[in-house]
Amino acid sequence: MEQSRTARIGKNEALFREVNESIRNVAPIEDPMFEVLCECGAKSCTEQFEIPITEYESVRSDPALFVLVNGHQAPDVEDVVEDEGVFLVVRKRPGVPEEIARATDPR
Ligand SMILES: [Zn+2]
């Protein structure tokens, strides 16, 4: 696996995670769903989808987990842990991908 690609994907994903954290912070408390940006790490990706806040919170409780549009996963750096149809929850592989994910965890 090429290290620079792994690092680039990891950094982009971390960036989108931060944006989603900002959105989360301003989302109405009474709303059970909120719209997030795909955290797939592709620079050109601007896709959004709705996720239950409870699910988002459980994903964010683990720094190695990310949410992304179904089909946007990078199988060489992450494993799908939940298939929700429209979106997936993925776990970063141990090693560089996971280290970046932990180092950039905003929580
Ligand atoms: Zn995407």
From ligand 1's centre to the CA of 68, what distance in Å? 6
Amino acid 69: pLDDT: 97
Amino acid 83: pLDDT: 97
Contact (Cβ atoms closer than 8 angstroms) between residue 75 and residue 81? no
From ligand 1's centre to the CA of 88, what distance in Å? 11
Which pLDDT tens digits describe the chain residue by residue (107 residues)?
A: 567 888 888 888 899 999 999 988 887 778 889 899 999 988 899 999 999 999 999 999 999 999 999 999 999 999 999 999 999 999 999 998 899 999 999 99
From ligand 1's centre to the CA of 26, what distance in Å? 22
pTM of the model: 0.87
Amino acid 2: pLDDT: 64
From ligand 1's centre to the CA of 72, what distance in Å? 5
Amino acid 58: pLDDT: 95
From ligand 1's centre to the CA of 37, what distance in Å? 8
CB atoms < 10 A from the CB of 21, how many? 15
Q: How far apart are CA 4 and CA 88, in angstroms?
A: 24
Q: What is the pLDDT of residues 90-103, one digit of tens each?
A: 999 999 889 999 99
